[in-house]
Amino acid sequence: MKILALFVAALAPCLASGPDVDKGRSMGDPSAPMLFEIYSDFSCPACKHLHDFVLPTIIQDYVRTGKAFLVFREFPLDIPAHKYSRPAAALAVAAARIGKYQTVSDALFRDQGAWGASGKVWDIVAAVLNPEERKRVQAFAVESSVLAEVQHDVDRGKQAMVSQTPTLMVTYKLRQQPWTQFGDLSLFRGYIDALLKK
Amino acid sequence: MPFSRNSALKIAVIVLRVVMGGIFIYAGYVKLAEPWQLFAAGIADYEVVPMWAAKFLAHTLPWFEVLIGLLLIAGRWFRTSTVSTSLLLLVFFSLMVRAFAGGKEINCGCFGPNELISWKTLVRDGSMLAASLFLAAIAFRNRRTPA
């Protein structure tokens, strides 16, 4: 009995902290049995492919059905070709503060080539917001808490062995497994369905 | 009683056979314990074989690993098992070196998920390859030696 009490006490902080979620960057039922965390970089073409073609199916099959809770994580890569990724991530996180993460995220992926070349990230973001929203997002984007949130996602990803983007971190029954293979969605479906049956 | 060089070699071979066999059985087991799609995705990450081949290998390779592990431990079909082990490890090691040299940060896929290719995994698999080649050499040397 004493051992059980000690075990529960040791486990309590882990259970209480949960997946560390920003409500503006999540989707679905937080009490779903599975947690999906998508680590992506707005400059990464494979992330755009995932966002445009794969994610809608994953959301429909697993998030809307209550099987998984989806969290979007920023993972801007520190490489010269992606030098605007971090400002883009900061704007997306700032937009999440006013409930516009999906709108801004969609715009950033849609016009990835344009702002990736010109660096005019704000122009793309501003185009999908009204004047009031622009003001608020601009203010949030320079806040240290927003920049810290981006860095927190990067640190969290590195800790969880994220080595490339996009990575979908699957957490089920306290076990984490990164998934990076999105070429054949049937493989991912098979894996998730097999886990859920366990 | 003097401990001859031949006896030492015999003991070394038995120990290596059991260790290598155990490693192969374990490698097969941890893959079989997970949904096969996870190993298939790991194979596909190497970008060497098409997806249908990755799926086929994910279904068959873990069983093959268990089989040659058992053969190594049992000491049956020694030449076949040591050559199979050496060829398999040669392929694994070459692919890992290729991926590492190419800067790919992917899972090794050696003993289940969540182990990125690193110097550590290269040294480990390289050592296993050396041990396996040694066993194969012994197997063929014994064949040439008259009884």
CB contact under 8 A, A163 and B44: no
Give the DSSP letter string of A115-142: HHHH--HHHHHHTTS-HHHHHHHHHHHT
- Using a CB–CB cut-off of 8 Å, the residues of A that contact B are 161, 163-164, 177-181, 183-184, 187-188, 190-191, 194-195
Compare all CA atoms of chain B with the CA of A197 and give the residue at the minimum distance.
B35
A183 in helix, strand or coil? coil
* Residues in chain B closer than 8 A to A178 (CB atoms): 113-114
CB contact under 8 A, B51 and A180: no
Report CA Rg, chain A. Answer: 18
Helix (H) or strand (E) holding A7: helix A2-17
User: How deeply is B30 buried, as exposed, middle or buried, from its count of CB atoms within 10 A (0-12, 13-18, 19+)?
Assistant: middle
Q: Among the listed ranges A11-15, B58-62, B99-103, which one has the minimum average pLDDT value?
A: A11-15
Nearest CB to B35: which of A183, A184, A191? A191
- Please give the share of chain B, as a percent, with pLDDT higher than 90: 71
Give the residue, B41 or A9, on which the prediction is more confident: B41
CB contact under 8 A, B51 and A183: yes
Mean pLDDT of B69-83: 93
CB contact under 8 A, B106 and A163: yes
Nearest Cα of chain A lies from the Cα of B25 at a distance, in angstroms, of 23
Query: Can you give the pLDDT at residue A19?
Result: 53
CB contact under 8 A, A191 and B51: no
Query: Can you give the pLDDT at residue B135?
Result: 94
Query: Can you give the pLDDT at residue B144?
Result: 58
Compare all CA atoms of chain B with the CA of A164 and give the residue at the minimum distance.
B105
Average pLDDT, chain B: 90
pLDDT reading at B114 higher than 80: no
Nearest alpha-carbon partner for A71 in A11, A131, A29: A29
Mean pLDDT of B107-130: 89
Q: Among the listed ranges A5-9, B45-49, B103-107, which one has the minimum average pLDDT value?
A: A5-9
Q: What pTM value is reported for the model?
A: 0.82
Query: Can you give the pLDDT at residue B50?
Result: 93
Nearest Cα of chain B lies from the Cα of A6 at a distance, in angstroms, of 29
Residue-by-residue pLDDT tens, chain A, 198 positions? 445 444 444 444 344 344 566 778 999 999 999 999 999 999 999 999 999 999 999 999 999 999 999 999 999 998 888 889 999 999 999 999 999 999 999 999 999 999 988 889 999 999 999 999 999 999 999 899 999 999 999 999 999 889 889 999 999 998 999 999 998 899 999 999 999 998
Domains of chain A: 21-197 (3.40.30.10)
Q: Which residue is listed with tokens 């808490």?
A: A145
Give the residue, B124 or A11, on which the prediction is more confident: B124
Contact A134, A126 (CB under 8 A): yes
CB contact under 8 A, B44 and A183: yes
pLDDT reading at B146 higher than 50: no
Strand ranges across the sheet with A167-172: A26-27, A68-74, A34-40, A167-172, A175-179
Give Cβ neighbours of residue A19 (< 8 Å, ≥ 6 apart). Answer: A30, A35, A37, A69, A71, A171
